[in-house]
Amino acid sequence: MNGAGMPPGPLPRPGAPRERAAQPWPVRWIRGSLAAVGHGLALAGLALAGLVPVGGVLLVINRLLQLGGGGTTPATLIGALLICAAGLLVARGQAKLTRRLAGRWCRTAIVTPYRPSPDPQVHGTWRRARAGAGWLLADPATWRDLAWASVNVCGGWLLAILPAALAIGGVLVLIRYGFGFISFAPHRLGFPPQGDSVAARALVAGIGGIVLGAWIAPYSLVAYGRLAGLLLGPTKRAQLSLQVRHLAQTRSDTIDAGAAAMRRIERDLHDGAQARLVAMGMTLDTAEQLIDTNPGAAKALLAEARVSSASALAELRNLVRGIHPPVLADRGLTEAVRALALDSPVRAHVAGSLPGRPPAPVESAAYFAVSELLANVSKHAGAGQVWIDVRYERGLLRLGVTDDGSGGADQARGTGLSGIERRIAAFDGVLAVSSPPGGPTVVNLEIPCELC
Amino acid sequence: MRVVLAEDLFLLRDGLSRMLQAHDIEIAAAVDNGPDLLTAVAAHEPDLAIVDVRLPPTFTDEGLRAALAARRDRPGLPVLVLSQYVEQLYARELLAGGTGGIGYLLKDRVLDGRQFIDAVRQVAAGGTAMDPEVIARLLARNAGDGAVAALSPREREVLGLMAEGRSNAAIAQRLVITERSVAKHTASIFIRLGLQPSDDDNRRVLAVLAYLGR
């Protein structure tokens, strides 16, 4: 799910965490800082793209001012329009890329604030273009993108490039004064050209610059991300409208799922228990006819009717189990998960407990999620064991299902995982799957709720 | 034999009473909730308590908890728990004491009167009667177990019936084979699973259930 209207969750850390943890900390620190310096440089480069929209708009304003009221021709107007449109598109592209990179590099998740794009069903190039332009111009986020482009190109990039500048400056000072290998005009930097004391000072200044640059690099990235978030993130108003859109989506998903479940129950009853009861009635009727003339046959029919009644009962039982599992009603989520674990063909271990009971709908959604995950594990994972963790922390019901199977589970492909995701989304719950090829597969789900 | 019956649905309570009475089993008391069951057990000291899992006032697992409480008050009191559905979790709790005199059956089993009465007598005599559905799920859970997988299909069948609590004679009758070959199968099963063979029927059942439920 694409976070619309959701509180930003913990960001995934880049790189494979196990590999990183195996390295000694200086190596990790240096690698992390180098990466951060590089990321800062890249972001500063991206900021330069802001010259297109900002420069374009300034150019157009300048030109119009020069011409005054009298000299405008259709050609200049169209040219100005085209330049503005191109500028806005570039600004939007730059903003989109910055949001993505901020999420990856700056530990700042910036929610995309745009309004939904216009209906693609509109016919005719001209109409579509008009609808597209209206959409672009009416969205305040477009103008905020433009504002970001100007802020960024005027000064934001300095923040991103600062660590790289310090580090590179440090290196240059070291090379020139510390070692004296290459010669370029040293007086420009304000140092006298010769002397041991100069070399010593240069050594301190150079190393200091490099270390300071490396040290502040991650912080400067975070600061840059925050700054970007101020303008590129949704405003309060946009946030509310995103939330409304998210709620409308999940509500309609929930209603659809409910209707589908009702249809399934109706079909199961119709094809199962109901049909069996009809057959039983007919069998009993025939037995009644035969009971005087052929008691043997009547007896056989009665036995058949009894078998039918047993099957009808079994079907009803399975149906009830699918609607509202008895153990869940009796004992609550943890025990019901324990019961699931006992029924699982893969050895399942349950840990954790809850200090109270979540609301019934949440409990039920969580139960069926675990049930489906366990079914997935036994069907696809080829796992020998599975561990289930049930916890409640800081207002979140947390469930973790980890197996030692072959991994490779994909949230996008399997309908099972996306189905779970949709169902818990109705409670603002989120699902996270980590399943590298070769395993292990870890599925975590979190549902915000109160316990009672 | 004297029985205390706890079942909240009048139709079922009445039907069960009549069925038991038809087989010369005396109904000492028939109650419709958990607390009354405990009182009735204390007052009548029956040979067996037959209890529905879902009882008022909570309509959850009140009956199961009352049955376990009754067994704590009177250790060894045979209890037959009936339910609309069976859960391994509850079977485990009932068996946790490690003694006999426990039955856990689907209510559907009442439909086959003779078998049901057999189970009643077996539990009252200190034996065990587990529903085939519980056992089927236990076996499915153990399908990956090397020792269980190595059993022949016939041996697995015998293992299942043994776990349900049936005697050699009953297994022989069910599978239409001689008691002697049942004994041979059971001996072989015990060796393959690495269990101590036992002549005592109930200890045998508990050993098998413990093995499958581990």
SS3 for chain A is CCCCCCCCCCCCCCCCHHHHHHCCHHHHHHHHHHHHHHHHHHHHHHHHCCHHHHHHHHHHHHHHHHHCCCCCCHHHHHHHHHHHHHHHHHHHHHHHHHHHHHHHHCCCCCCCCCCCCCCCCCCCHHHHHHHHHHHHHHCHHHHHHHHHHHHHHHHHHHHHHHHHHHHHHHHHHHHHHHHCCCCCCHHHHCCCCCCHHHHHHHHHHHHHHHHHHHHHHHHHHHHHHHHHHHHHCCCHHHHHHHHHHHHHHHHHHHHHHHHHHHHHHHHHHHHHHHHHHHHHHHHHHHHHHHCCCCHHHHHHHHHHHHHHHHHHHHHHHHHHHHHCCHHHHHHCHHHHHHHHHHHCCCEEEEEECCCCCCCHHHHHHHHHHHHHHHHHHHHHHCCCEEEEEEEEECCEEEEEEEECCCCCCCCCCCHHHHHHHHHHHCCCCEEEEECCCCCCEEEEEEEECCCC
* Residue A221 confidence (pLDDT): 87
Contact residues of B toward A, CB < 8 A: 54, 60-61, 84-85, 87-90, 92, 106-108, 111-112, 137, 140-141, 143-144
**Could B111 and A309 be called an inter-chain contact, meaning their C-beta atoms sit closer than 8 Å?**
yes
Which residue from A minimizes the CA distance to B63?
A: A330
Q: Where are the beta strands (DSSP E) in B32-87?
A: 48-52, 79-83
> Which token pair is B125?
């005599």
Q: Is the per-residue pLDDT at A2 higher than 80?
A: no
Do B77 and B172 belong together in one domain? Answer: no
* Residue A249 confidence (pLDDT): 86
User: Residue A432 CB: number of other CB atoms within 10 A?
Assistant: 15
Q: The domain that contains B91 carries what CATH number?
A: 3.40.50.2300
Percent of chain A's residues with pLDDT above 90? 21
Which of A56-70, A335-349, A415-429, B55-69 shows the lowest per-residue confidence on average (mean pLDDT)? A56-70
Show residues of chain B in contact with A317, CB under 8 Å.
Answer: 84-85, 106
* Residue A357 confidence (pLDDT): 93
> Which token pair is B122?
């077996």
**Could B92 and A342 be called an inter-chain contact, meaning their C-beta atoms sit closer than 8 Å?**
yes
Which residue from A minimizes the CA distance to B143?
A: A345
Q: Is the per-residue pLDDT at A89 higher than 50?
A: yes
Domain definitions of chain A by residue range: 22-234, 238-323, 327-448
Do B116 and B171 belong together in one domain? Answer: no
The pairing of strands B79-83 and B48-52 is parallel
Q: How many CB pairs under 8 A join A and B?
A: 48
* Residue A11 confidence (pLDDT): 36
Residue A158, burial from CB neighbour count under 10 angstroms (0-12, 13-18, 19+): middle
Do B122 and B171 belong together in one domain? Answer: no
CATH topology for the A327-448 domain = Heat Shock Protein 90 (3.30.565)
pLDDT single digits (tens) A96-137: 888 888 888 888 788 888 887 776 676 778 887 788 888 888
**Could A342 and B89 be called an inter-chain contact, meaning their C-beta atoms sit closer than 8 Å?**
yes
Tally the domains of chain B: 2
Do B110 and B142 belong together in one domain? Answer: no
The two most distant CA atoms of chain B are separated, in Å, by 50
Show residues of chain A in contact with B88, CB under 8 Å.
Answer: 339, 342-343
How sure is the predictor about A415, in pLDDT bands with cuts at 50, 70 and 90?
Answer: low
Sheet hosting strand B48-52, strand order edge to edge: B26-31, B2-6, B48-52, B79-83, B102-106, B128-130
Minimal Cα–Cα distance from B180 to chain A, Å?
31
Burial B181-212 (b: 16+ CB within 10 A, else e): ebeebbeebbebbeeeeeeebbebbbbbbebb
* Residue A7 confidence (pLDDT): 37
* Residue A253 confidence (pLDDT): 85
* Residue A226 confidence (pLDDT): 87
Which residue from B minimizes the CA distance to A325?
A: B85
Which residue from B minimizes the CA distance to A349?
A: B214
Contact B20, B27 (CB under 8 A): yes
Comparing CB atoms, the residue among B88, B90, B144 nearest residue A345 is B144
Do B125 and B154 belong together in one domain? Answer: no
**Which residues are bridge partners to B105 per DSSP?**
B82
Percent of chain B's residues with pLDDT above 90? 57
CA distance linking residue B132 with residue B86, whole number of Å: 10
Report chain A's mean pLDDT, rounded to a whole number.
82
Sheet hosting strand A347-352, strand order edge to edge: A347-352, A385-393, A396-403, A441-448, A430-434
* Residue A130 confidence (pLDDT): 80
Q: Find the domain containing B172 and state its range.
A: 135-213
Minimal Cα–Cα distance from B142 to chain A, Å?
7
Do B117 and B195 belong together in one domain? Answer: no
The pairing of strands A396-403 and A430-434 is unpaired
Q: Which of A304, A307, A313, A317 to mutate to test the interface with B (most CBs of B within 10 A)?
A: A317
Q: Is the per-residue pLDDT at B115 higher than 70?
A: yes
**Which residues are bridge partners to A399 per DSSP?**
A390, A445
Do B94 and B141 belong together in one domain? Answer: no
Give A253 or B2, the one with higher predicted confidence: B2
Q: Which residue is it, tokens 């800082």?
A: A33
User: Is this prediction's pTM over 0.80?
Assistant: no
Percent of chain A's residues with pLDDT above 70? 88
Contact residues of A toward B, CB < 8 A: 306, 309-310, 313-314, 317, 320-321, 326-327, 329-331, 335, 338-339, 342-346
Q: Is the per-residue pLDDT at A187 higher than 60?
A: no
Interacting residues of A327 by C-beta distance below 8 A, sequence separation 6+: A335, A336, A339, B87, B89, B90
Which residue from A minimizes the CA distance to B62?
A: A330
- Mean pLDDT for the stretch of residues B57-82: 91
Residue ranges of alpha helices (H) inside B59-200 are: 62-73, 88-95, 113-124, 132-141, 146-149, 153-164, 168-175, 179-193
Do B141 and B96 belong together in one domain? Answer: no
Listed residues B80, B100, B130: the one ending a domain: B130
Contact A182, A176 (CB under 8 A): yes
pLDDT single digits (tens) A23-54: 777 888 888 888 888 888 888 888 888 888 88
Report chain B's mean pLDDT, rounded to a whole number.
90
According to the per-residue pLDDT averaged within each range, which of A62-66, A77-81, A146-150 is highest? A146-150
Residue A151 Ramachandran class (φ > 0 left, ψ -120 to 50 alpha, else beta): alpha
Phi and psi angles of residue A66, each rounded to the nearest 5 degrees, phi first: -60, -45
Minimal Cα–Cα distance from A316 to chain B, Å?
10
ipTM of the assembly?
0.86
Q: Is the per-residue pLDDT at A172 higher than 70?
A: yes
Do B30 and B125 belong together in one domain? Answer: yes
Show residues of chain A in contact with B92, CB under 8 Å.
Answer: 342
**Could B85 and A326 be called an inter-chain contact, meaning their C-beta atoms sit closer than 8 Å?**
yes
DSSP state of B101: -
Show residues of chain B in contact with A306, CB under 8 Å.
Answer: 111-112
pLDDT single digits (tens) A306-333: 888 888 988 898 888 888 888 998 899 9
According to the per-residue pLDDT averaged within each range, which of A62-71, A195-204, A417-426 is highest? A417-426
**Could A330 and B60 be called an inter-chain contact, meaning their C-beta atoms sit closer than 8 Å?**
yes
Which residue from A minimizes the CA distance to B89?
A: A339
Q: Which of B60, B87, B115 to mutate to test the interface with A (most CBs of A within 10 A)?
A: B87
Show residues of chain A in contact with B140, CB under 8 Å.
Answer: 345
How sure is the predictor about A197, in pLDDT bands with cuts at 50, 70 and 90?
Answer: low
**Could B60 and A329 be called an inter-chain contact, meaning their C-beta atoms sit closer than 8 Å?**
yes
**Could A313 and B144 be called an inter-chain contact, meaning their C-beta atoms sit closer than 8 Å?**
no
Q: Is the per-residue pLDDT at A420 higher than 50?
A: yes
Listed residues B111, B130, B149: the one ending a domain: B130
pLDDT single digits (tens) A211-221: 888 888 888 88
How sure is the predictor about B180, in pLDDT bands with cuts at 50, 70 and 90?
Answer: very high
* Residue A69 confidence (pLDDT): 57
Interacting residues of A295 by C-beta distance below 8 A, sequence separation 6+: none
Q: The domain that contains B173 carries what CATH number?
A: 1.10.10.10
Listed residues B130, B165, B198: the one ending a domain: B130
Do B42 and B109 belong together in one domain? Answer: yes
Q: Which of B94, B141, B148, B214 to mutate to test the interface with A (most CBs of A within 10 A)?
A: B141
* Residue A163 confidence (pLDDT): 87
